[in-house]
Amino acid sequence: MLQLLLFNVTNGVIIGAFYVLMALGLSLILNLSNVINFAHGGFLVVGGYIAYTITPYVGFWGALLIAPPLTAVIGLVVERILIRPLYGRDPLYSLLLTFGLAFILEDGTRFIWGAQGKPVSVPPLLSQPLSYDFFFITGYRLFMVVMVIVAVGVLFALLRYSRLGIRIRAGTLDLETVSALGVNVRTLRSLNFAAGIFLAGLSGVLAAGQLGLEPTMGAGLLMPSFIAIIVGGVGSLTGTLLGGLLIGVASGVTAVFLPAASEAIMYVLMAVVLLVRPRGLLGEEGMMT
Amino acid sequence: MDKIGQLNRRTVLKTALAASVAQVASPFVIRARAADAIRIGMVDPLTGVYAAVAQNEVIGAKFAVEQINAKGGVMGRPLELLVEDSANDVGTGVQKTRKLIERDNVQFIIGDVNSGVAQAMAQVTNEKKVLHVVSGGHTDGITGKDCKWNVYRVCNTTRAEANSVSELLFKNYGKKWHFITPDYAFGHTLQQAAAANLQKLGGTITGNELAPLGTADFSAYLIKARAANPDVLLVLPQGSDMVNCLKQIAQFGIDKQIHVAGLQQELESLEAMPPEARVGVWMFEWYWKQPNTPGLDQFVAEIRKRSGGKVPTARTWFGYTSVWTYALAANHEKSLDGVKLAKALGNFELPPEVKLQPNKVYYREGDHQLMTTAFVGKALQKAAGDPEDLFQVDSMVAGDQVNPPVSETGCTLQWPA
């Protein structure tokens, strides 16, 4: 029993790491621009399908490098044309827009690549379990965790040390003052949105290797990411990181005792956090008002 | 308001006007057409997780309409097929069914892939006394305790699927079974049927993992399943859930330690998997490669022309057979009356050019379930010749042998006075 529990905690961390990657992108966009991006799952799927399309020409590693920036470019165009006009308005407008956009992206991928799922193979190097006992730790899953750590490390370093990152963090706290100091807020928001979508694209490529591709797969991966943000606290990227890992582990441990509730436990956790500490674990009071 | 606001208002007014004109105008079009064509309606989830299988049902149905019209239609009148998207949602499915019957005056309804939607649609068609063939919803109730005089079903019950594989698995692979079951009506009935068979055979269940619909990561269930050390691991989720589950089984190497199998398998799912995930013993409800089946090669060739080179799947055949069922019954009875046609379909046997499989294929009078052949065999990692030949059929069992007798289905048909 203890072994089973240990296995599932480890496994939960692996799953949680993936939620973190997805949730960080969402969180970036939400914090700076107050846009609840319901289309994030759609961008994930687009990223995965782009990787699928270019893999025959550039291989898995090439696709991993090229697909996320391409997705970010699509995100940039969408931000410029559709989302920018809504910045001054109530967040409800952008929520409705991205909600619709999620359907358009899903139907768009279905139209282009077909409704039938696409098989995606990972390099043979990564497709084996590392050991007989820890059969659930495959090379690919370990690789995913490493990728998440790298992406999170780079993101946090950029936010802390680069000029753009410092502006994004400042804008999250007080966009008006940042604007008054002469920073071009439009460009700042665009780049920030693109960075968020880049993470969605990266999640898509990684998810494709793990799960295969299907036009509807984004929706199922989106909800845990929202929960991660709420549990961790809106406005705090470290909170999002913590929230993602926490729900992954909670879901893994629940699967040992009550498998049918492994999904529901995430919502229970969210409800408890909202009741006891409405701002989330590391969230700041008064965000999202 | 500024100028843009005014323009917007005008556009809205214009659109509203155009829409109302269209509303008034459209009934004339419908009446003009209704005089010659016989309209039939199909409701299927063209969007959502079942989109791939639903689209194949539509391809089959359209081809059947084409064939029927080329052969002179139904009582000399052409068929016109209207397809609606249920979006995998009960409310939408019911609304579209009502629209087809009330506004478009369809004489016959086909659908849905989703069992829950199909059951709700059956309520509507029953109330409206319209003949209804359920093309792809498998839950037992449709031809069991919730059966209706106007509802027939082409695809199998979950009981029949479990019966076709259970004995083989028990004999060849062992008596300790572990289940991964999708946590909704379809999964529950499928698992219960297999568990009942296992008990009869004298085996034991080491566990049953209920996985919510839409589970993307099955690792936690697989860790538990392997720890229980069963002889056979039965994977019951369908569609993308099954693809995810089998992919992870292959990545974890579980298929090399435990026999992996399942009950229902579909070509759409096998094609969405990388080769290493295509493992196990399964049942197909129809397969495009069979020895010496008259008309089959031509059917495959014709479908390939209409689906961008893809072969027909069981779903294509479901759609095809559903439409042919109506045409055959109506031409036989020389009537479009729902009650008359429903009566005529009792024990109605499909001709070779429609059934496209061995054994007698007929609608059972007592529960309105089509008795079809079960194709039992293995998933192939390496395609046998044609890239879409991903299943090796080992045996083709007649529907009468895998379906429980009518007395056990719980169906009592109530005919209108």
Give A121's contacts in chain B (Cβ within 8 Å).
Answer: 274-276
Q: Can you give the C-alpha Rg of chain B in angstroms?
A: 23
Q: According to DSSP H, which parts of B253-393 are helical?
A: 267-271, 296-306, 314-333, 338-345, 352-355
| Shortest CA gap A36–chain B (Å) | 23
pLDDT at B352: 96
**Beta strands at B151-153 and B79-85: parallel, antiparallel or unpaired:** unpaired
pLDDT at A173: 86
A11 to B223: CB separation less than 8 angstroms, yes or no: yes
Of B396, B345, B337, B333, the closest CA to residue B134 belongs to B345
> Which residues in B have their CB inside 8 Å of a CB on A?
47-49, 51-52, 54-55, 183, 209-212, 214-217, 219-224, 226-227, 240, 243-244, 247, 251-254, 268-269, 271-277
For residue B30, give every residue at least 6 positions away whose Cβ sits within 8 Å of its Cβ, in sequence order, or none.
Answer: B103, B104, B105
B122: enclosing H helix or E strand: helix B115-128
Q: Is residue A263 included in any domain, yes or no?
A: no
CA distance A51 to A44: 11
For residue A15, give every residue at least 6 positions away whose Cβ sits within 8 Å of its Cβ, in sequence order, or none.
Answer: A248, A251, A252, B217, B219
Q: Which of B52, B210, B253 sits opposite A129 (nearest CB)?
A: B253
Q: According to DSSP H, which parts of B156-265 are helical?
A: 158-173, 185-201, 219-228, 239-252
pLDDT at A286: 55
Amino acid at B290: Q
The predicted-structure confidence for A85-114, as pLDDT tens digits, reads as follows 998 888 899 999 999 999 999 999 999 999
Q: Which of B217, B253, B275 sits opposite A15 (nearest CB)?
A: B217
Domain ranges of chain B: 36-156+293-372, 159-284
User: Token match 């999640």: residue?
Assistant: A203
pLDDT at B28: 42
Residue in B closest to A213 by C-alpha:
B272
pLDDT at B17: 52
B131: enclosing H helix or E strand: strand B131-134
- State the average pLDDT for chain A: 90
Q: Is residue A130 included in any domain, yes or no?
A: yes
CA distance B99 to B31: 16
pLDDT at B10: 53
User: Token match 């105008």: residue?
Assistant: B25
The reply to whether B36-156+293-372 and B159-284 are identical in fold is yes
Helix A139-161 vs helix A185-211: crossing angle, to nearest 10: 170
Give B388's contacts in chain A (Cβ within 8 Å).
Answer: none
B221 to A259: CB separation less than 8 angstroms, yes or no: yes
Average pLDDT over residues A250-266: 85
Q: Is A58 exposed, middle or buried (0-12, 13-18, 19+ CB in 10 A)?
A: middle
CA-based torsion, A249, A254, A259, A263: positive or negative: negative
pLDDT at A258: 82
A216 to B52: CB separation less than 8 angstroms, yes or no: no
| Shortest CA gap A121–chain B (Å) | 6
Give B59's contacts in chain A (Cβ within 8 Å).
Answer: none
B253 to A114: CB separation less than 8 angstroms, yes or no: no
Residue in B closest to A116 by C-alpha:
B52
Of B82, B67, B49, B93, the closest CA to residue B266 belongs to B49
Q: List C-alpha distances in Å: A33 to A79, A168, A176, A287, B98.
A: 11, 10, 12, 12, 44
**Contact map slice: A 55-74 vs B, CB within 8 A:** none
| Count of domains for chain A | 1
pLDDT at A143: 92
Q: How far apart are the first and last CA of chain A?
A: 45
pLDDT at B5: 37
> From edge to edge, which strands make up the β-sheet containing B232-235?
B204-211, B176-182, B232-235, B259-264, B281-284, B374-379, B391-397
Q: In a structure prediction context, what are the per-residue pLDDT tens digits for chain B, which is 417 residues long?
A: 343 334 454 544 454 455 444 444 444 444 444 458 999 999 999 988 889 999 999 999 999 999 999 999 999 999 999 999 999 899 999 999 999 999 999 999 999 999 889 999 999 999 999 999 999 999 899 999 999 999 999 999 999 999 999 999 999 999 999 999 998 878 998 999 999 999 999 999 999 999 888 788 888 899 889 999 999 999 999 888 899 899 999 988 999 999 999 999 999 999 999 898 999 999 999 999 998 899 999 999 999 999 999 999 999 999 999 999 999 999 999 999 999 999 999 999 999 999 999 999 999 999 999 999 999 999 999 998 899 999 999 999 999 999 999 999 999 999 998
A221 to B216: CB separation less than 8 angstroms, yes or no: yes
Contact by Cβ (8 Å): A120, A140: no
Query: Could you confirm whether domain B159-284 is CATH 3.40.50.2300?
Result: yes
What is the ipTM metric for this complex?
A: 0.81
For residue B266, give every residue at least 6 positions away whose Cβ sits within 8 Å of its Cβ, in sequence order, or none.
Answer: B53, B238, B284, B285, B313, B314, B315
The predicted-structure confidence for A13-59, as pLDDT tens digits, reads as follows 988 999 999 999 999 999 888 899 999 999 999 999 999 999 999 99
CA distance A206 to A138: 14
Q: Mutate which of B85, B113, B215, B223 to test chain A, going by most A C-beta atoms within 10 A? A: B223
Classify residue B156 by its DSSP letter: P
CB pairs below 8 Å between A and B: how many?
Answer: 117
Of B265, B281, B260, the closest CA to residue B168 belongs to B281
CA distance B236 to B179: 7
Give A129's contacts in chain B (Cβ within 8 Å).
Answer: 251-253
Residue in B closest to A249 by C-alpha:
B220
**Among the four given CATH numbers 3.20.20.70, 3.10.590.10, 3.90.1150.10, 3.40.50.2300, the one describing domain B36-156+293-372:** 3.40.50.2300
Q: Which two tokens stand for residue B283?
A: 């049942």
Neighbours of B21 (CB within 10 A): 10
| Shortest CA gap A1–chain B (Å) | 9
Q: Is B87 exposed, middle or buried (0-12, 13-18, 19+ CB in 10 A)?
A: middle
Q: Is A126 exposed, middle or buried (0-12, 13-18, 19+ CB in 10 A)?
A: middle
Q: Which of B240, B275, B277 sits opposite A214 (nearest CB)?
A: B240
CB-based contact (8 Å) between A208 and chain B?
no
pLDDT at B215: 82
Largest CA distance in chain A: 60
pLDDT at B3: 39
Q: Is residue A235 included in any domain, yes or no?
A: no
**Domain span at A105:** 16-221
Q: Taking the C-alpha atoms of A153, A159, A160 and A162 in order, what is their torsion angle to the nearest 10 degrees?
A: 110
pLDDT at B4: 37
For residue B380, give every residue at least 6 positions away whose Cβ sits within 8 Å of its Cβ, in sequence order, or none.
Answer: B278, B389, B390, B391, B392
Give B215's contacts in chain A (Cβ within 8 Å).
Answer: 263
